[in-house]
Amino acid sequence: MRKFFLLFLLFSSLFLTASISAISQVQGQNQNNYSLQIQGLTWNRTTLNILLVTPNNESWWNPIYVNSTLRAIGQWNDAISYFASNYSNFGYLSSLKFEPAVTNETKTGFDIYLNWTETTLDNTADEVGLTSTTDQNNVIINCTVNLATHTSHGDALSDGDMQNIALHELGHSLGLGHSNYTGDVMYPAYTLLGSADSISTLDIYGVATVFAWMLNPSKFYPVNEWLQSDPVILPSNQYEYLPVSPQNARPQTLANNPIVQTLILMVEILIHPEILAIVLLFIIVLIIIALIPSKRKKPKAAS
């Protein structure tokens, strides 16, 4: 819970920093209202140019993460487009989209910069994603998304985990905060080896609130007159997951098979010296117990 609390503190510090943690305590709850915090910030444009900056020749780097992240970007574009076409009153969202580019060089002029680091992003919590936003008068100037490729124990994230974590951080880059619903992609805690996350009607309803100015661009300023940071409550509890196109869905590869992933994670955990030492000690104790001759009662003759 301490980890969660830390996240909460980070999140509430002016909403400049939002993070996700790879912790495993996800608690069930009775769901009466699906709500989503918003940061009270918006963009003054509808095409968000996002630059994926890949590391150069780093031993920890796995190029597969570019694909995972591009699929997450595509998932947001799919969900926004579907919502604009299928939910009346939200057609104005149809021109909102991410426009990704990939580079291994320093470039300027992009709205969002996405970087990868090897290690987790905080020493005390197992943070695997962190989004920082700079704004002026509640208008986002630019945004940086950092994604870790390994947990604090040094275990490499899977392709599917990277897609889920990127999905969450991209939600922050759109001005979203955290959801109260454990099944939502904007829930602040994440369990590794999770199934493929979907974007919900709640998430896009939050995006529609952040970008409500698209209905009437002349009333954009001042932003705080039409956009507050109060949580968004989904009308009539119409919580649904939005469809994703096949090219942006998690591929059904062996590397994304949950059983194979669990085995890989177990091996990764076992090769840590301190854990290996405990396991070996346990096995030695078992062998010693097995070798001690045990006194057995002679079976009684049947009478």
The footprint of Zn ion (CB under 5 A) covers 18, 20
What tokens does 277 get?
């030492």
Report, in Å, the least distance between residue 187 CB and Zn ion.
8
Considering the complex, state which of residue 18 and residue 199 has its C-beta at the smaller distance from Zn ion.
Answer: 18
Considering the complex, state which of residue 18 and residue 244 has its C-beta at the smaller distance from Zn ion.
Answer: 18
d(CA 171, CA 131): 9
Considering the complex, state which of residue 12 and residue 95 has its C-beta at the smaller distance from Zn ion.
Answer: 12
Report, in Å, the least distance between residue 210 CB and Zn ion.
15
Residue 213: CB partners within 8 Å, gap ≥ 6? 42, 219, 220, 223, 226, 227
C-alpha distance from residue 197 to each of 134, 193, 238, 259 (Å): 27, 11, 18, 18
Report, in Å, the least distance between residue 9 CB and Zn ion.
13
Q: Are 216 and 57 in contact, with CB atoms under 8 Å apart?
A: no
User: The tokens 């009607």 sit on which residue?
Assistant: 201
Give the type of residue at 288. Answer: I
Using DSSP bridges, classify how beta strands 17-21 and 232-233 pair: parallel, antiparallel or unpaired.
Answer: unpaired
Give the type of residue at 276. Answer: L
What tokens does 34 get?
């699906």
Report, in Å, the least distance between residue 173 CB and Zn ion.
11
Considering the complex, state which of residue 78 and residue 184 has its C-beta at the smaller distance from Zn ion.
Answer: 184
Considering the complex, state which of residue 20 and residue 244 has its C-beta at the smaller distance from Zn ion.
Answer: 20
Running DSSP on this structure, what letter comes out for residue 255? G
What tokens does 240 get?
């649904």
Report, in Å, the least distance between residue 18 CB and Zn ion.
4
Considering the complex, state which of residue 185 and residue 208 has its C-beta at the smaller distance from Zn ion.
Answer: 185
H or E segment at 291? helix 273-291
Report, in Å, the least distance between residue 200 CB and Zn ion.
15
User: The tokens 């996700």 sit on which residue?
Assistant: 20
Identify the three-state secondary structure at position 258: helix
